[in-house]
Amino acid sequence: MNTIEPVVSSPRKPPEENGASQQRAADWENPRVASILSAAAKCFARKGFTATTLAEIGKELGLRKSIVHYYFASKAALIHEVQSFTYHRYLDRLKEATQNGDGSTSQAMEALKALWEAIQNNKTGTGLNIEVWSAARRDPELKRRAAGLQRDARQVIREAMGPAAAKGGVNRSEALATLSLAVLNGLSVTEYLEGDEMRAREAYETFLQLLRLGLESSSAPS
């Protein structure tokens, strides 16, 4: 008789004051866990958090509900984990795409293009984010974790944009990262709702042009 190997969870640390989202409740390296998280993301994005059941998530993979429940105690526990999983996957791709940058304005532009492409290649993520933001109104812990992921994203954007964004001090760098993330989130939601990928891409290209002009003017000798 086959048995299911238990998940080796990452050790829990006391919550940090800023609500950082690095803690993980499940072993993302476990193929079964990763497949459940990916299937859950698709189901939540397609049907919504409330309408999705653990049985439907299992059906997506050809698994019984009891197997999904073995790894995740509840649907609430699953949505907590699935957003962290999907978010960090595309942030990791951004880090890989920009790790050899030269600190120039061009690097900053390429970093943002890489992040936009990651979002474009993860249509499920936008629908999932909408569901998470909605559920977070009723779940303080989910809201805390979602806020931590936003901070993680801004940090990655600041690092990817490099010295070009840092000219003018930390506050300016943070402001540019916040603005860039807001544009990314807003355009991805607009595209998700309207279904017009070309319009969203044109709007993002316009944002990049304006940002480039701002970075280049601030770095020009006075």
The list of the chain residues with pLDDT below 50 reads 1-24, 222
Give the model's pLDDT for residue 112: 78
H or E segment and range at residue 85: helix 75-98
Separation of alpha carbons 171 and 91, rounded Å? 22
Give the model's pLDDT for residue 186: 92
Give the model's pLDDT for residue 1: 39
Domain limits, the chain: 84-217
Helix (H, G, I), strand (E, B) or coil at 17: coil
Give yes or no for a contact between 111 and 94, defined as CB atoms under 8 angstroms apart. Answer: yes
Structure tokens that stand for 33 in this block: 């866990």
Longest CA–CA span in the chain (Å) reads 76
Task: Fold for 84-217, please state it.
Answer: Tetracycline Repressor; domain 2 (1.10.357)
Give yes or no for a contact between 203 and 104, defined as CB atoms under 8 angstroms apart. Answer: no
